[in-house]
Amino acid sequence: MKRDSAQVVSSAANVDSSSETNSATSIGPSPELCAAKRKHSRAYALLGLAILFEVCSTTCLKLSAGCTVLLPTLGVFCFYSVCFILIIYVLKYLPLGLVYGIWGGVGSILTTVIGIMLFDDPFTVVTAIGILTIIGGIALLNYAQTKHDA
């Protein structure tokens, strides 16, 4: 049985109009909630990017040899500038304590790893315990935030 395009369009319009009337009674997230979750996800992605810029800046601090090497010294200022601009945006959507805890904690862990890999910084049992403690603290901050949002 063939249907012409007018019948297809007409039946599609009927489905659309019936779904509009049922959308008020349907169970699912509202468009506002979906938009808020997208902004929340975007804020976490930008926080991750800010952390990477912070780690790059901190690495440049080491490479600058007390601001005596020009290129890494310029990198410090450029990377920190981008980092803080991103943090300012992230703070519009996420709480200060959570942002700063994740930023400082993950940044510290990544900087420690870079120090061990590139600059022969020591890695000891105490270092490992410190990293695990930071991870636990970040997990608790996130858990507290999700409990508060619920």
Whole-angstrom Cα distance, residue 81 to residue 50?
A: 10
Token pair in block for residue 3: 């249907």
Compute the half-sphere exposure of residue 133: CA atoms within 13 Å on the CB side of its CA: 6
Hey, where are the domains in the chain?
Answer: 46-149
How many residues are recorded in the chain? 150
Residues in CB range of 135: below 8 A, 6 or more apart: 105, 109
Task: Give me the pLDDT at residue 24, please.
Answer: 52
Q: Which of 93, 92, 96, 107 is nearest to 49 (CA)?
A: 107
Query: pLDDT for 59-80, tens place per residue?
Result: 999 999 999 999 999 999 999 9
pTM exceeds 0.85 = no
Percent of the chain with pLDDT over 90: 67
Q: In this structure, are residues 106 and 137 in contact, taking their beta carbons and an 8 Å threshold?
A: no
N-terminal to C-terminal alpha carbon distance within the chain: 52
Average pLDDT over residues 110-139: 96
Q: Which residue has the higher pLDDT, 130 or 20?
A: 130
In which region does residue 47 sit, left (phi positive, over 0), alpha (psi from -120 to 50) or beta (all else)?
alpha
Confidence grade of residue 34 (pLDDT, cut at 50, 70, 90) = confident
For the cut 90, the answer to whether the pLDDT of residue 101 exceeds it is: yes
